[in-house]
């Protein structure tokens, strides 16, 4: 009988092919278990090793990917602000990232499917908790960002995809809760990865301007409303992180100007 305690004790190096199939189904079922030792220290690392070491057949990897992208995993109870469902969603994103890192032979359609899914996930996810006492890391925005970075680094990335990535990052800002555990840093890695892939700095600069224009409209409509204040916090913290992650003078200059303007707007009346 497969139990949480027996899984914690097993050595995956000793699995037969049949055992791998059986345990893989079990691992997908408990991928978001609230027990942080089981979820974060056992199941996720096991998926990572099996995938990265090439120990699974293509149909097994496909099964993992399809399951993790499904309504029962990446979109499980999506929209709730608190609850254990976030662990299933967030750790499904991490496992998808492992698959993306390993599989470079996809057709374009598969790549687009995943990119569109993570963009929708970051838009719809409302549980913004980072570390949850007694249950470990939820970190939905950070894990979504990790998946975006993996997709930028994939061989199917195209320059025309840049706007989809930028929209996905922006989707993470517009929440009623502020980042708590360095989510902005992980999101900034996405922009850094885009620049390293050759995306023109002018595209990033244009997006930064558009993000501040959108924030400005939100603020003017509901100045100092708590939800908008939290959105503002997310945007400004991200922009500060981005300022120090990229060495593009034009981009840094624009970010600095906007940050100074927002400081005056909020703190100097």
DSSP string over 210-250: HHHHHHHHHHHHSTT-HHHHHHHHHHHHHHHHHHHH---HH
Q: What is the per-residue DSSP string for 178-201?
A: ---SSHHHHHHHHHHHHHHTT--H
Q: How confident is the model at residue 64 (pLDDT cuts 50, 70, 90)?
A: very high
Residue 180's pLDDT is what? 92
For the chain, the structural domain boundaries read: 4-157
Region 76-97: mean pLDDT is 97
Q: How confident is the model at residue 269 (pLDDT cuts 50, 70, 90)?
A: low
Among 47, 51, 127, 54, residue whose Cα is nearest residue 92: 47
Residue 9's pLDDT is what? 81
Q: Compute, in degrees rounded to 10, the torsion defined by CA atoms 116, 121, 123, 126.
A: 180
Determine what percent of the chain is predicted with pLDDT higher than 90. 81
Residue 77's pLDDT is what? 98
Residue 228's pLDDT is what? 94
Q: CB-based contacts of 262: which residues, under 8 Å, 6+ apart?
A: 232, 236
pTM score: 0.94
Region 25-30: mean pLDDT is 94
Region 98-122: mean pLDDT is 93
Model confidence pLDDT, tens digit, residues 135-159: 999 999 999 999 999 999 999 999 9
Residue 69's pLDDT is what? 98
Region 25-48: mean pLDDT is 94
pLDDT, the chain, mean? 93
Q: Say if residues 6 and 30 touch (Cβ distance below 8 Å).
A: no
Determine what percent of the chain is predicted with pLDDT higher than 70. 99
Residue 57 reports pLDDT greater than 90: no
C-alpha 61/C-alpha 190 separation (Å) is 25
Residue 1 reports pLDDT greater than 70: no
More confident residue, 212 or 58: 212
Among 52, 6, 45, 47, residue whose Cα is nearest residue 25: 47
């Amino acid at each position: 009988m497969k139990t949480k305690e027996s899984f914690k004790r097993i050595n995956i190096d000793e699995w037969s092919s049949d055992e791998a199939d059986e345990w893989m189904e079990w691992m997908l079922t408990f991928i978001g278990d609230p027990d942080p030792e089981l979820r974060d220290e056992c199941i996720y690392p096991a998926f990572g090793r099996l995938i990265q070491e090439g120990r699974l057949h293509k149909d097994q990897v496909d099964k993992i990917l399809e399951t993790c992208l499904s309504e029962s995993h990446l979109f499980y109870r999506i929209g709730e602000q608190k609850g254990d469902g976030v662990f299933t969603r967030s750790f499904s994103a991490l496992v998808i990232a492992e698959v993306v890192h390993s599989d470079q032979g996809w057709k374009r359609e598969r790549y687009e499917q995943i990119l569109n899914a993570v963009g929708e996930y970051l838009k719809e996810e409302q549980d913004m908790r980072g570390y949850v006492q007694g249950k470990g890391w939820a970190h939905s925005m950070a894990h979504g960002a990790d998946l975006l970075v993996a997709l930028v680094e994939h061989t199917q990335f195209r320059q025309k995809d840049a706007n989809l990535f930028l929209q996905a990052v922006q989707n993470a800002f517009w929440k009623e809760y502020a980042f708590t555990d360095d989510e902005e840093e992980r999101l900034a890695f996405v922009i850094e990865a885009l620049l390293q892939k050759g995306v023109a700095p002018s595209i990033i600069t244009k997006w930064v301007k558009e993000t501040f224009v959108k924030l400005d409209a939100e603020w003017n409509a509901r100045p100092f409303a708590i939800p908008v204040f939290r959105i503002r916090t997310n945007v400004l913290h991200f922009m500060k992180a981005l300022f120090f992650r990229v060495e593009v003078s034009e981009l840094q200059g624009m970010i600095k100007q906007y940050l100074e303007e927002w400081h005056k707007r909020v703190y100097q009346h």
